[in-house]
């Protein structure tokens, strides 16, 4: 029964994730037909054609399938997504998937390193803050979390670029996709993400330290450090993991500005170019990647939570 309950709960979470991904795909696809202006005309202008005739625009509409009903257009687009076909770039006329795959490794390197930095940083700071509650280490950490939560990521990036990269000649302004070049921008992203995660984990640790089982452990002679690490931390991890899962989309969404500031050759710079040129297939592809990354991360966190906390297996939401 225990494994059966886990299977049923996991199946529900997977079904919810599939429905969420389908809903997100509808919204992503709608970026193109709902965009202002004639799509066929924008495509031809992006190819460098001028003084367009009605016949040329009509031919382009037919070629792009824009004369089909909207439902057919969506199903054709969705079928292309399943085949790995995200359309052609308006400007380069190259397959969007090909251009994405050329830039994806650099973005994965940057965001993967940033995620590791933010998790380790928030874990360490939250444990220190909980261990020294209301003393100067806790007060300093709370000051950092308040500043970090209030300021956008690009402010930290500009400060790092001005004082660290340019002032102290550490890192590179024209970055190459290497681990050493990724350290500073990844640290900036991680520092920003860790601020809110530290606040959440610290609150969970303090709540667990004041719980009944913590009092029982103290009565049995357990030290505060043991209570913190063996009792409080495991119980505070689930909300922390959930926060990480729901922040993945924000992590990807905030990457373009950081990549632009540090001239990082990843998907972020590619998106900014597409936004300037109104290159909607590229914009659709990036938003779709961000949405699917969020759904996948949230699903993985849900599944881990089901394994760690049997009480969640009876919940249907």
Q: Which domains does the chain have, with CATH numbers?
A: 2-82 (no CATH), 108-265 (1.10.3720.10)
R_g of the chain computed on alpha carbons: 24
Q: Does this model's pTM top 0.85?
A: no
For every one of its 317 residues, what pLDDT tens digit does the chain have, with 9 covering 90 and above?
Answer: 455 667 787 888 889 889 999 999 998 888 877 777 777 777 777 766 777 778 888 888 887 777 888 888 899 889 989 898 888 888 888 899 999 998 888 888 888 898 899 899 999 999 999 999 989 999 999 998 888 877 766 676 666 666 565 555 555 555 567 777 788 888 888 888 888 899 999 999 999 888 888 888 888 888 888 888 888 888 888 888 888 877 776 677 667 777 877 778 888 878 888 888 778 888 889 889 888 888 888 888 888 877 776 666 665 44
Which pairs from 27-35 meet CB under 8 Å and 24+ separation? 27/291, 28/284, 28/287, 28/288, 28/291, 29/73, 29/74, 29/77, 29/78, 29/284, 31/280, 31/283, 31/284, 31/287, 32/280, 32/281, 32/284, 33/70, 33/73, 35/278, 35/280
Q: pLDDT at position 201, please?
A: 93
Q: Determine the Cα–Cα distance for residues 285 and 88; give it in Å rounded to an integer.
A: 10
Strand partners, 95: 88
């Amino acid at each position: 029964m225990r494994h059966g309950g886990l299977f049923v709960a996991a199946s529900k979470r997977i079904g919810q994730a599939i429905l969420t991904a389908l809903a997100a795909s509808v919204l992503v696809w709608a970026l193109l037909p709902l965009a202002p202006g004639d799509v066929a005309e924008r495509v031809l202008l992006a190819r460098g054609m001028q003084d367009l005739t009605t016949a040329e625009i009509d031919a382009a509409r037919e070629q792009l399938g824009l004369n089909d009903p909207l439902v057919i257009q969506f199903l054709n687009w969705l079928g292309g997504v399943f085949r790995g076909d995200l359309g052609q770039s308006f400007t380069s006329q190259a397959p969007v998937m090909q251009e994405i795959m050329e830039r994806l490794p650099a973005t994965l390197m940057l965001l993967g390193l940033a995620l590791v930095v933010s998790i380790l940083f928030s874990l360490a700071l939250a444990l220190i803050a909980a261990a020294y509650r209301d003393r100067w280490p806790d007060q300093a950490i709370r000051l950092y979390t308040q500043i970090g939560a209030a300021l956008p990521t690009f402010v930290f990036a500009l400060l790092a670029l001005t004082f660290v990269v340019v002032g102290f000649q550490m890192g590179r302004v024209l970055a190459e996709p290497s681990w050493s070049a990724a350290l500073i921008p990844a640290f900036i992203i991680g520092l920003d993400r860790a601020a809110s995660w530290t606040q959440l984990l610290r609150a969970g640790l303090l709540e667990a330290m004041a719980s009944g089982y913590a009092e029982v452990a103290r009565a049995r002679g357990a030290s505060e450090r043991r209570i913190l690490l063996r009792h409080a931390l495991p119980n505070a991890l689930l909300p922390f993991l959930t926060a990480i899962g729901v922040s993945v989309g924000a992590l990807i969404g905030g990457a373009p500005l950081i990549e632009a500031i540090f001239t990082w050759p990843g998907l972020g710079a590619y998106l900014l170019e597409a936004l300037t040129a109104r290159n909607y297939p590229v914009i659709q592809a990036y938003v779709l990647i961000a949405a699917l990354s969020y759904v996948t991360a949230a699903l993985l966190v849900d599944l881990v939570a089901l394994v760690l906390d049997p009480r969640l297996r009876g919940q249907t939401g």
